[in-house]
């Protein structure tokens, strides 16, 4: 199958061609909508047709790669089980350099996460700013759990164990708070089994497939062998530009269609851009370098299944200016559609649109 068919599959699977929907039927909420930056999780839902979702129906928690993600509140017990490390080795990989002092002290990584979670649970009994919570947590943790942070000029708990333990502790983030405010999730108990729709391996295949265990592992920051051990039985092999990949059997019939003509402004951390086969999305190395830069990452213009360029928004008072950098000349119909999406962004931000700057 061709890359165009893969892109068409993903656009449709992620409902980027949809005009309306509900919290219950929004597919990206199965794997989580990353809520990083001004145009984060809620914008990702809006461009998939879910505008103004009931606030009480959603929750923001730290999960995959320690990033904040939006989920259905009703799914949180299953999310906790689905996004937990698969093994002690997986936990060690996900917490990066925090694993070294734990290993030296003979403390298993999963046990360490449970220890941090237990302390967090006892400390946060009401809404608490992250900084205060971190200070209190550091005061009760043993040396293998803490480090001296040069940028902060202070000693505190390692960041990734802190983030990955929060949901284990039954804590969520208050929406829109910066710095983050953590608070207890009412009546929270992790699920004892993972609901199928929340299984992160299956969700990746369903929304970002066809894929390989290595690609899924890259998305999760997990060892490939742990993903391979949890590889679904109901997959079929396909060839994508000559490479062996797999897709869920129920989705195989949806791979033959070309992308829809939908035009969307994807946020910098939109799920569509989180696929680990970046060259499939953007072949030009210079364009890819700009799109996936470490700092100051722009959003992406999606048009006809292709990433057609980047965009950036600049707020001035109650107005916003949006610059659009197209990588090649676009027809008038596409430019009009992009203009409509820029207006949609301004409305979403509750700002007036000052101007559109075309940078091509």
* Tens-place pLDDT, residues 188-238: 999 999 999 999 999 999 999 999 999 999 999 999 999 999 999 999 999
Q: Are residue 229 and residue 274 in the same domain, yes or no?
A: no
Nearest to 117 by CA among 84, 82, 72: 84
* Tens-place pLDDT, residues 255-305: 877 889 999 999 999 999 999 999 999 999 999 999 999 999 999 999 999
CA distance 70 to 88: 26
Domain count, the chain: 3
Asked if residue 3 is part of any domain, the answer here is: no
Percent above pLDDT 70 for the chain: 100
Q: Are residue 210 and residue 283 in the same domain, yes or no?
A: no
Residues 6 or more apart whose CB falls under 8 angstroms from that of 148 comprise 154, 155
Q: Are residue 146 and residue 203 in the same domain, yes or no?
A: no
Q: Are residue 247 and residue 268 in the same domain, yes or no?
A: no
Asked if residue 75 is part of any domain, the answer here is: no
Asked if residue 26 is part of any domain, the answer here is: no
Whether residue 23 contacts residue 72, with contact meaning beta carbons closer than 8 Å, is answered with: yes
Whether residue 320 contacts residue 353, with contact meaning beta carbons closer than 8 Å, is answered with: yes
- Residue 149 backbone phi and psi in degrees, to 5: -100, 115
Find the largest Cα–Cα distance for the chain. 64
Q: Are residue 94 and residue 152 in the same domain, yes or no?
A: yes
| Per-residue pLDDT, 360 | 67
Buried b / exposed e along 313-338 (16+ C-beta atoms within 10 A): beeeeeebbbbbbbbeebeeebbebb
| Per-residue pLDDT, 359 | 87
* Tens-place pLDDT, residues 27-60: 999 999 999 999 999 999 999 999 999 999 999 9
What's this model's pTM, rounded to 2 decimal places? 0.96
Asked if residue 209 is part of any domain, the answer here is: yes
> How confident is the model over 73-93, as a mean pLDDT?
98
Q: Is the pLDDT of residue 12 over 80?
A: yes
Using DSSP's 3-state secondary structure scheme, residue 96 falls into: helix
Q: Are residue 269 and residue 350 in the same domain, yes or no?
A: yes
Nearest to 173 by CA among 36, 20, 12: 36
Q: Is the pLDDT of residue 74 over 80?
A: yes
Residue 138's domain spans which residues?
87-170
Q: Is the pLDDT of residue 318 over 90?
A: yes
């Amino acid at each position: 199958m061709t890359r165009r068919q893969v892109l068409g599959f993903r656009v449709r699977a992620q409902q980027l061609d949809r005009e309306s929907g509900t919290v219950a039927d929004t597919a990206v909420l199965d794997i989580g909508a990353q809520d990083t930056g001004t145009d984060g999780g809620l914008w990702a839902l809006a461009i998939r047709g879910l505008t103004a979702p009931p606030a009480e129906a959603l929750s923001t928690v730290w999960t995959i790669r320690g990033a904040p993600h939006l989920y259905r509140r009703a799914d949180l017990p299953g999310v906790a089980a689905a996004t937990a490390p698969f093994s002690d080795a997986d936990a060690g990989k996900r917490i990066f350099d925090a694993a070294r002092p734990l290993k030296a002290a003979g403390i298993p990584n999963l046990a360490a996460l449970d220890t941090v979670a237990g302390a967090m649970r006892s400390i946060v009994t009401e809404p608490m700013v992250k900084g205060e919570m971190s200070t209190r947590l550091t005061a009760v943790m043993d040396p293998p759990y803490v480090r001296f942070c040069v940028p902060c000029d202070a000693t505190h708990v390692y960041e990734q164990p802190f983030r990955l333990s929060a949901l284990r502790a039954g804590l969520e983030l208050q929406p829109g708070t910066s710095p983050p405010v953590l608070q207890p999730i009412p009546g929270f108990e992790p699920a004892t089994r993972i609901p199928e729709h929340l299984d992160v391996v299956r969700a990746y295949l369903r929304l970002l497939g066809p894929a390989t265990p290595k690609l899924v592992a890259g998305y999760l920051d997990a060892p490939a062998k742990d993903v391979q051990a949890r590889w679904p039985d109901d997959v079929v092999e396909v060839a994508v530009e000559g490479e062996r990949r797999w897709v869920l059997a129920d989705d195989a019939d949806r791979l033959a269609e070309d992308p829809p003509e939908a035009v969307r402004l994807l946020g910098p951390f939109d799920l569509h851009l989180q696929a680990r086969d970046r060259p499939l999305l953007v072949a030009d190395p210079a364009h890819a370098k700009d799109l996936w830069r470490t700092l100051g990452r722009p959003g992406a213009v999606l048009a006809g299944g292709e990433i057609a360029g980047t965009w950036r928004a600049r707020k001035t008072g109650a107005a916003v200016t949006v610059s659009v950098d197209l990588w090649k000349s676009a027809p008038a119909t596409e430019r009009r559609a992009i203009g409509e999406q820029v207006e949609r962004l301004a409305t979403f931000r509750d700002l007036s649109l000052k101007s559109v700057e075309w940078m091509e």
